[in-house]
Amino acid sequence: MRHLKRTAKLGRTGEHRNAMLANLVCSLIKHRRVTTTLAKAKAARSVAEKMVTLGKGGTIYDRRLAAARLRQQARTLHNRQKTRIAWRKRHDVIRILFEDIAPGFKDRQGGYTRIIKQNLRRGDAAEVAILEWVEAALPADSTPKPVGQTTAVKTPEEAPAALIKPEPEASPAPAPPPSAAPNPSGETKPPSS
């Protein structure tokens, strides 16, 4: 009997499962939203919430625990300071967690993520869900916009000239096709092509 055994196996060995959940939570931290199956989302939710709890602590020990659980090591591979700073800003999961995400949840006592159920996936009919942070606590400017999304512009004066499409001009009505003209002999002859 499996009494008091709550671990979701997800059809994987322990090492594979822990690595997959670490990768899923890293993607959640980087992109703020992840689409996955419902079972994986429920399993990753507890890991993500524990990482935010560590992030709220903020000590170096908490950073090391989070780095070990998420399998993230300090990256010293960048020779130039400019590339190292760019990497830290966009890809350093521990920095994003401790400096961007966790401070937004300092007054919240748990419940940092939400799961939104989606339709069934085509192909295998798996239940699909979106795992995302509760947006109310995150800073507004930290949420990345999807590529190609623009803000709504209310009046043409506010829009840049490149975004305004010129209205098409009304073109004259096309001429009717030439009808069969009678010949001098009185017979109608179709137009030649």
Main-chain dihedrals φ then ψ at residue 129, nearest 5 degrees:
-140, 160
Q: Does domain 14-140 have CATH number 3.90.1030.10?
A: yes
Burial 117-137 (b: 16+ CB within 10 A, else e): eeeeeeeeeeebbebbbeeeb
Q: Domain residue spans in the chain?
A: 14-140
Residue 42 is predicted with a pLDDT of 96
Please give the structure tokens belonging to residue 8: 């979701």
Nearest one of 93, 138, 116, 100 to 41, comparing CA atoms: 116
Tens of pLDDT, residues 140-175: 555 554 444 444 444 445 545 544 555 556 666 666
Tens of pLDDT, residues 88-128: 778 889 999 999 999 999 999 999 999 999 999 999 999 99
